[in-house]
Amino acid sequence: MSAPDTRRVLVLNGPNLGRLGSREPDVYGSVSYADLVERCTALGRELGLAVEVRETNDEGEMIRWLHEAADGRLPVVLNPGAFTHYSYGMRDAAAQRTAPLIEVHISNPHARESFRHTSVVGAVASGTIAGFGPDSYLLALRALAGQDARPRSTTGG
């Protein structure tokens, strides 16, 4: 259990992200998933955040985690992986957020295949950070640390 003054944050990862380090290192780099988890939790401690990192290849599980975050008013760092481009169920779950949700991507989707240029999540996220390798997660955690836990509007500015 986290200390009362420590904000809990979920870092949620979609399909194939558990294979970091061995999956297309020319695109995703050589940092392993275990290393990513350690980097996120270590920075979280520095920032006063209780960071919990999860990964799933199952769309239903991701949706349940987003519901958990909404019900618990938990900020989320979300790398939807391939779900980014087509999962309207996940998009609808993300739209129910009650705290900031930052979409992250290790690579820059706009510099890749055209099917990756569309995110169904982006419009309901607080913001998107992409193209900075594993540092995309760290930048998102720093952004969350600078925000309070109040809900943000998903319509406009």
DSSP class of residue 98?
Answer: S
Among 99, 107, 106, 91, CA closest to 143: 99
Spatial neighbors of 120 by CB under 8 A, at least 6 apart, are: 84, 85, 86, 87, 88, 90, 91
Among 154, 44, 141, 13, CA closest to 97: 154
Residue 92 in 3-state DSSP?
helix
Is residue 116 part of an annotated ligand binding site?
A: yes
Is residue 107 part of an annotated ligand binding site?
A: yes
Catalytic residue among 28, 86, 88, 137: 28
Is residue 106 part of an annotated ligand binding site?
A: yes
Are 76 and 101 a contacting pair, CB within 8 Å?
yes
Q: Which two tokens stand for residue 87?
A: 């999962």
Catalytic residue among 33, 67, 86, 105: 105
Query: Does the annotation mark 28 as catalytic?
Result: yes
Q: How far, in Å, CA of 125 to CA of 37, rounded?
A: 22
Please report, in range form, the residues annotated as the binding site for substrate: 79, 85, 92, 106-107, 116
Please report, in range form, the residues annotated as the binding site: 79, 85, 92, 106-107, 116
The residues annotated as belonging to the active site are: 28, 105
